[in-house]
């Protein structure tokens, strides 16, 4: 038996080949040419699915596996169908259905049932949109099946000639191909990436409205192109295939595979299918001899398959060759490394045939061309799927504080991509294509994962905003490339050249996207102006009054009791410290004890951009607790504990001033006097503050002194402007009565002035800029009322909001002019409340405001390097994002080098060569865009479907 096996010539030759191959396996492994099993498995499936079965690479490995099994089953099933009409109908129907985004369709039917409570359920508008697409697909499928069956059944089959029906359809397809090519090229800013498009708007660095007006005609042309591509071209190609005589030869593996792929490509990748059919049609006309190998041995389906493989490999070869030339130019033009790379460049020129062989071998395998350490030393990377990384798309990212800005812009960017892709502005859409978007300091990386009939699936990544030297150098080159394309004026020449043709980035178009524009300003001369700081104190009291009244009027409990109170005349009682009553003599020491309200540690450090709030709170832990009784004092309860049945005299008219430094023996405390008082208006309790907010930590002497700062006229104006009562006829009279209620006013006076004292102090000195920055950041100075305020989180947040509003008001008054009257001040505060978020960038509410798309955001900071206070304003508006197409082979090659360097060369140096700036290759940005842990994008979206019709 062994002798029999050894004597077989084929096995002997295979044995010799394998012996030679096994010798080189370690060498190939060391060079990174041998693929890991999982990468080889998915790469093989993609190649068979794309070229043998007419499909597309998929966004996930699971989808790829399922689609491969279904597509292979389709080809096998078509082999066993006996009827020619049945085969054509089966191939047409399955080819169309498999080219759709079936996950979207299943999502419609899954959530179409009544009573679905899933959080992922689409809205009514989304359901209608999806059902409309389903109806569109059903109509297209019915017409495609009718056309295929009728043409195949009634039309006569004959060898193709210049006058045959199939040749006539071929002429129509040639016309469609030329027309679609022209319509697609005039949508982008450059034709062939070299010549500037004379039809593209010039001087587009304007507003979105003006740009869209200039682009109107191009968008209309894009609609015509989409109709030709979506409706006309597929039906014309189906007609060409249905009239082919090769379909008469059933029960042939070549016919089943070839035509299964052809009928699938018509829908899956219409533009490439149109090109392939036109090439085959031209070959039919040029090679008229029936004895030639092309006509005798191959059917039309196999011809299309061979043309498709050659088309793809030719495009890959050209892209890889461009990438290799760019690497050579980058190595030669980089002054720092020119001496060390000059020899490599010369060797590449001398051994250029050998380099072409490496490029050709890489092209045949459809594997990336690997430039070793991004130098002109080229290797063949191991074959891998287009997705490049083993993990699922969008599951990993280096999340940071800036991630939220990319998260906010994704929906608007997806809608803009839908319009641009449908019009053809981004060129030919193929899986594995990469695009780069730029706006201010944001860099957006867009990858096409899969394509099909009227849809494609994309992944959007966001790169870091922090400016490093490498990041800045390449971002500046990106700006130069886009400026040369989109910054041309109206009087420039009609057809100029692309000055940055050698770059891996080719500008495509501008996308109108709703996002935040970031503006930073220096507040020197505003925040440190003595007059502004003096006005700040008066404005703070007014803003506190406005915010507390607005809060009281909008409380849910108050809204629920409005109707009940309007029908009742009861006047509730309230326990309130009287400002004009002081049965005990005033202490001469209380003022001195209050003036020592700040800590040394709090007042020294002013150089943090956003001071640490926790530090200020931790300092308070070292102070004595304010709820402990003072030795030798009369025990008493809290003011709000008067219903426990204890002595009313002790409960209601005596309290101990807690939280102050100890009083020397023999000295008296100016104790607050709390009489039992009633509201004069039956509706006043609706606007009353919560009981736990009624302060008992301030002596009457200080409260009387501070009450003179309370703006009574502003208080009454704000009350009269409220719109919280449903009966409009009685609203004005009710508010008038409430405004005259002195008990309610005294309650607001005590609460407002205690908050004022907690935030600001009671001295008449103007605050310092460092004081404002700390309190703005939530680090309050120590005072006797600080514990009282911090124990009430909601009141603390309202007081902090008032402080921040007052700062923004001070900046606006210094920039736009003074406030004329109360009405203008109210309008300004309402604008802050509705359209602004004023806080810290590090706050969680800042991120929530960005995701909720607040029109404006403001933050105060300090730049220790320049020694200035800064203001940051984010404005939400529709702006133009510049988008360009990257050389896909350059991206894959640099990612392959990154993988080889980190996995094979074990180069984990943070300053490794592959992340150094190279503006011509955009090396640093490309490395950033790789999936973690090899790259570090700060945002990566899940696969996003983009509908193109």
Per-residue pLDDT for 521 more than 70? yes
Average pLDDT in the 735-752 region? Answer: 82
**120-129, 131-140, 670-679, 728-737: segment of lowest average pLDDT:** 670-679
Per-residue pLDDT for 1 more than 60? no
CA distances from 492 to 497, 509, 745 (A): 11, 18, 69
pLDDT of residue 154: 72
Cα Rg of the chain (Å, integer): 38
At 594, the pLDDT band (50, 70, 90 cuts) reads very low
CA-wise closest residue to 554 among 798, 741, 723, 733: 723
pLDDT of residue 363: 94
Average pLDDT in the 21-50 region? Answer: 87
At 721, the pLDDT band (50, 70, 90 cuts) reads confident
pLDDT, tens digit, 9 for 90 and up, residues 666-709? 444 444 444 445 766 767 777 888 888 877 766 666 677 777 78
Average pLDDT in the 158-176 region? Answer: 80
Q: Which helix (H) or strand (E) holds 521?
A: strand 505-522
CA-wise closest residue to 185 among 426, 421, 416: 426
Average pLDDT in the 146-171 region? Answer: 76
More confident: 171 or 684? 171
Hey, which residues does 507 pair with through a beta bridge?
A: 884
Contact between 946 and 417 under an 8 Å Cβ cutoff? The reply is yes
User: Whole-angstrom Cα distance, residue 71 to residue 65?
Assistant: 10
Contacts 24+ apart (CB under 8 A), 810-813: 810/526, 810/527, 810/532, 810/533, 810/535, 810/536, 810/539, 811/523, 811/526, 811/527, 811/871, 813/532, 813/535
pLDDT, tens digit, 9 for 90 and up, residues 800-810? 999 999 999 99
Contact between 591 and 702 under an 8 Å Cβ cutoff? The reply is yes
pLDDT of residue 907: 57
Residues 6+ apart with CB under 8 A from 175: none
Sign of CA dihedral 484, 486, 488, 491: positive
pLDDT, tens digit, 9 for 90 and up, residues 236-254? 999 999 888 877 766 688 8
At 107, the pLDDT band (50, 70, 90 cuts) reads low
User: Whole-angstrom Cα distance, residue 78 to residue 56?
Assistant: 20
**64-68, 607-611, 817-821: segment of lowest average pLDDT:** 607-611
pLDDT of residue 586: 39
CA-wise closest residue to 921 among 262, 55, 327: 327
Average pLDDT in the 594-599 region? Answer: 38
Instruction: With H, G, I as helix, E, B as strand and everything else as coil, classify residue 128.
Output: helix
pLDDT of residue 273: 95
At 884, the pLDDT band (50, 70, 90 cuts) reads very high
pLDDT of residue 178: 95
pLDDT of residue 708: 78
Q: Is 128 exposed, middle or buried (0-12, 13-18, 19+ CB in 10 A)?
A: exposed
User: Whole-angstrom Cα distance, residue 585 to residue 931?
Assistant: 74
Here the tokens at position 182 are: 């022209």
Provide the Cα torsion 760, 761, 767, 770; round to 10°: -70
pLDDT of residue 616: 41
Contact between 849 and 407 under an 8 Å Cβ cutoff? The reply is no
pLDDT of residue 573: 46
How far does CA 470 lie from the centroid of its chain? 23
Contacts 24+ apart (CB under 8 A), 413-418: 413/437, 413/444, 413/460, 413/511, 413/513, 413/515, 413/881, 414/458, 414/460, 414/944, 414/946, 416/511, 416/512, 416/513, 416/881, 417/446, 417/458, 417/511, 417/946, 418/946, 418/947, 418/948
**Token match 């204890």: residue?**
646
CA-wise closest residue to 875 among 850, 895, 897: 850
User: Whole-angstrom Cα distance, residue 639 to residue 654?
Assistant: 9
If one counts every other C-beta atom within 10 angstroms of the C-beta of residue 170, the result is 23
pLDDT, tens digit, 9 for 90 and up, residues 649-665? 333 333 333 333 444 44
More confident: 383 or 112? 383
pLDDT of residue 580: 42
User: Whole-angstrom Cα distance, residue 67 to residue 98?
Assistant: 8
In degrees and rounded to multiples of 5, residue 732 shows phi and psi of: -65, -45
Contact between 903 and 897 under an 8 Å Cβ cutoff? The reply is no
Per-residue pLDDT for 918 more than 90? no
**220-234, 271-285, 607-621: segment of lowest average pLDDT:** 607-621
pLDDT of residue 656: 33
For 556-572, give one letter per residue: b (16+ CB within 10 A) or e: eebeeebeebbeeeeee
Mean confidence (pLDDT) of the chain: 80
Instruction: With H, G, I as helix, E, B as strand and everything else as coil, classify residue 768.
Output: coil
pLDDT of residue 441: 87
Here the tokens at position 573 are: 């009682």
At 869, the pLDDT band (50, 70, 90 cuts) reads very high
At 125, the pLDDT band (50, 70, 90 cuts) reads low
**Token match 């389903």: residue?**
134
Q: pLDDT exceeding 90 applies to what percent of the chain? A: 39
pLDDT of residue 469: 72
Q: Is 584 left (phi over 0), alpha (psi -120 to 50) or beta?
A: beta
Contact between 841 and 859 under an 8 Å Cβ cutoff? The reply is yes
Q: Which helix (H) or strand (E) holds 275?
A: helix 270-286
Contact between 597 and 783 under an 8 Å Cβ cutoff? The reply is yes
pLDDT of residue 360: 94
At 784, the pLDDT band (50, 70, 90 cuts) reads confident
User: Whole-angstrom Cα distance, residue 147 to residue 510?
Assistant: 40
User: Whole-angstrom Cα distance, residue 394 to residue 557?
Assistant: 44
Q: Is 295 exposed, middle or buried (0-12, 13-18, 19+ CB in 10 A)?
A: middle
- Quote the crossing angle between the two packed helices 165-185 and 233-242, to the nearest 10°: 150
Contact between 53 and 219 under an 8 Å Cβ cutoff? The reply is no
DSSP letters, 442-501, are EEEEEEEEEEETTEEEEEEEE---S--HHHHHHHHHHHHHHHHHH---TTS-SS-B-TTT
CA-wise closest residue to 775 among 749, 801, 808: 801
Per-residue pLDDT for 345 more than 80? yes
At 726, the pLDDT band (50, 70, 90 cuts) reads low
pLDDT of residue 727: 54
Per-residue pLDDT for 325 more than 90? yes
User: Whole-angstrom Cα distance, residue 150 to residue 156?
Assistant: 11
**399-408, 614-623, 694-703, 883-892: segment of lowest average pLDDT:** 614-623
Average pLDDT in the 177-199 region? Answer: 89
Residues 6+ apart with CB under 8 A from 319: 887, 888, 889, 890
User: Whole-angstrom Cα distance, residue 40 to residue 53?
Assistant: 18
pLDDT of residue 937: 93
Q: Is 84 exposed, middle or buried (0-12, 13-18, 19+ CB in 10 A)?
A: middle
If one counts every other C-beta atom within 10 angstroms of the C-beta of residue 737, the result is 16
pLDDT of residue 292: 72
Per-residue pLDDT for 881 more than 90? yes
Provide the Cα torsion 328, 332, 334, 336; round to 10°: 120
pLDDT of residue 15: 83
pLDDT, tens digit, 9 for 90 and up, residues 891-900? 999 999 988 8
User: Whole-angstrom Cα distance, residue 198 to residue 186?
Assistant: 8
**621-630, 674-683, 875-884, 904-913: segment of lowest average pLDDT:** 621-630
User: Whole-angstrom Cα distance, residue 799 to residue 752?
Assistant: 9
Q: How many residues does the chain have?
A: 949
**203-217, 432-446, 715-729: segment of lowest average pLDDT:** 715-729
pLDDT of residue 913: 63
pLDDT, tens digit, 9 for 90 and up, residues 633-647? 333 333 333 333 334
pLDDT of residue 650: 38
Pairing of strands 856-863, 836-838: parallel
Instruction: With H, G, I as helix, E, B as strand and everything else as coil, classify residue 191.
Output: strand
At 906, the pLDDT band (50, 70, 90 cuts) reads low
If one counts every other C-beta atom within 10 angstroms of the C-beta of residue 376, the result is 23
User: Whole-angstrom Cα distance, residue 189 to residue 216?
Assistant: 15
Tell me the H-state helices in 740-784. 742-760, 769-776
Contact between 144 and 238 under an 8 Å Cβ cutoff? The reply is yes
Here the tokens at position 620 are: 């308070």
Q: Which helix (H) or strand (E) holds 195?
A: strand 195-196
């Amino acid at each position: 038996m062994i002798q029999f096996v050894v004597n077989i010539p084929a096995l002997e030759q295979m044995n010799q080949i394998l012996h030679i191959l096994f010798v080189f396996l370690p060498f190939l492994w060391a060079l990174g040419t041998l693929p890991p099993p999982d990468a080889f498995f998915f790469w093989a499936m993609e190649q068979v699915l794309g070229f043998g079965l007419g499909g597309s690479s998929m966004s996930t490995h699971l989808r790829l596996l399922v689609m491969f099994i279904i597509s292979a089953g389709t080809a096998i099933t078509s082999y066993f169908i006996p009827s020619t009409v049945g085969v054509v109908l089966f191939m047409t129907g399955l080819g169309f259905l498999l080219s759709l985004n079936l996950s979207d369709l299943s999502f419609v039917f899954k959530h179409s049932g009544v009573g679905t409570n899933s959080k992922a359920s689409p809205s009514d508008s989304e359901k209608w949109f999806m059902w409309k697409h389903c109806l569109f697909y059903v109509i297209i499928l019915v017409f495609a099946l009718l056309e295929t069956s009728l043409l195949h059944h009634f039309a006569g089959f004959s060898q193709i000639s210049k006058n045959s029906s199939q040749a006539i359809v071929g002429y129509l397809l040639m016309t469609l191909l030329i027309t679609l090519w022209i319509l697609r090229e005039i949508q982008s800013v450059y034709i062939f990436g070299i010549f500037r498009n004379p039809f593209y708007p010039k001087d587009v660095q304007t507003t979105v409205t003006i740009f869209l007006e200039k682009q109107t005609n191009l968008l209309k042309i894009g609609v015509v192109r989409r109709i030709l591509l979506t409706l006309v071209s597929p039906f014309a190609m189906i007609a060409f295939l249905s009239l082919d005589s090769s379909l008469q030869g059933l029960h042939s593996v070549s016919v089943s595979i070839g035509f299964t792929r052809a009928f699938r490509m018509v829908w899956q990748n219409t533009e490439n299918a149109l090109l392939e059919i036109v090439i085959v049609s031209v070959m039919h006309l040029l090679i008229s001899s029936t004895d030639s190998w092309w006509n005798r041995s191959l059917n039309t389906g196999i011809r299309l398959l061979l043309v498709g493989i050659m088309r793809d490999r030719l495009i890959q070869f050209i892209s890889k060759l461009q990438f290799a030339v760019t690497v050579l130019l980058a190595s030669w033009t980089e002054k720092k490394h020119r001496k060390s790379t000059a020899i490599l460049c010369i060797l590449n020129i001398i051994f250029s045939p050998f380099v072409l062989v490496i490029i050709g071998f890489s092209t045949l395998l459809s594997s990336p061309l690997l430039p070793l350490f991004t130098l002109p030393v080229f290797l063949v990377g191991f074959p891998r799927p287009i997705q490049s990384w083993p993990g699922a798309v969008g599951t990993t990212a280096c999340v940071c504080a800036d991630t939220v800005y990319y998260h906010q812009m994704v929906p608007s960017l997806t809608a803009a991509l839908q319009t641009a892709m449908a019009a053809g502005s981004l060129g030919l859409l193929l899986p594995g294509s990469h695009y780069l978007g730029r706006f201010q300091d944001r860099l957006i990386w867009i990858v096409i994962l899969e394509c099909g009939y009227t849809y494609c699936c994309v992944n959007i990544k966001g790169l870091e905003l922090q400016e490093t030297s490498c990041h800045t150098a390449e971002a500046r080159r990106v700006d130069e490339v886009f400026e040369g394309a989109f910054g041309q004026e109206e009087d420039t020449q009609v057809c100029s050249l692309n000055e940055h043709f050698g770059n891996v980035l080719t500008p495509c178009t501008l996308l109108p996207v709703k996002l935040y524009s970031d503006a930073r300003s220096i507040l020197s001369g505003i925040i440190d102006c003595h007059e502004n700081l003096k006005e700040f104190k008066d404005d703070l009291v007014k803003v506190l009054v406005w915010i507390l009244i607005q809060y009281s009027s909008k409380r849910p409990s108050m809204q629920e009791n409005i109707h009940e109170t309007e029908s009742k005349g009861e006047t509730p009682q309230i326990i309130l410290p009287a400002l004009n009553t002081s049965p005990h003599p005033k202490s001469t020491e209380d003022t001195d004890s209050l003036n020592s309200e700040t800590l040394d540690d709090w007042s020294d450090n002013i150089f943090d951009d956003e001071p640490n709030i926790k530090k200020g709170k931790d300092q308070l832990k070292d102070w004595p607790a304010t709820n402990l009784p003072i030795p030798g004092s009369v025990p008493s309860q809290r003011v709000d504990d008067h219903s426990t049945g204890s002595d009313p005299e002790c409960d209601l008219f005596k309290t101990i001033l807690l939280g102050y430094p100890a009083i020397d023996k023999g000295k008296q405390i100016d104790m607050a006097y709390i009489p039992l008082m009633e509201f004069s208006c039956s509706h006043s309790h609706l606007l009353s503050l919560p009981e736990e907010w009624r302060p008992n930590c301030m002596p009457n002497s200080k409260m009387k002194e501070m009450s003179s700062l309370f703006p009574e006229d502003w208080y009454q104006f704000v009350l009269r402007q409220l719109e919280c009562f449903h009966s409009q006829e009685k609203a004005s009279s009710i508010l008038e009565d409430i405004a005259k209620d002195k008990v309610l006013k005294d309650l607001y006076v005590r609460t407002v002035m205690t908050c004022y004292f907690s935030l600001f102090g009671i001295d008449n000195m103007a605050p310092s800029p460092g004081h404002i920055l700390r309190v703005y950041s939530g680090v309050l100075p120590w005072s006797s009322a600080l514990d009282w305020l911090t124990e009430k989180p909601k009141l603390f947040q309202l007081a902090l909001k008032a402080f921040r509003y007052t700062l923004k008001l001070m900046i606006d008054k210094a920039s736009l002019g003074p406030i004329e009257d109360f009405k203008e001040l109210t309008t300004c505060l309402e604008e802050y409340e509705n359209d602004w978020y004023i806080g810290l960038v590090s706050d969680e509410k800042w991120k929530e405001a960005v995701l909720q798309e607040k029109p404006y955001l403001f933050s105060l900071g300090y730049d220790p390097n320049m020694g200035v206070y800064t203001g940051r304003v984010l404005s939400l508006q529709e702006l133009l994002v510049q988008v360009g197409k990257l050389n896909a082979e350059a991206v894959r090659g640099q990612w392959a080098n990154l993988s080889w360097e980190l996995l094979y060369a074990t180069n984990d140096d943070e300053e490794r060569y592959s992340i150094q700036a190279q503006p011509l290759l955009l090396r640093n940005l490309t490395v950033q865009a790789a999936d973690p842990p090899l790259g570090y994008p700060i945002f990566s979206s899940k696969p996003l479907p983009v509908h193109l019709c």
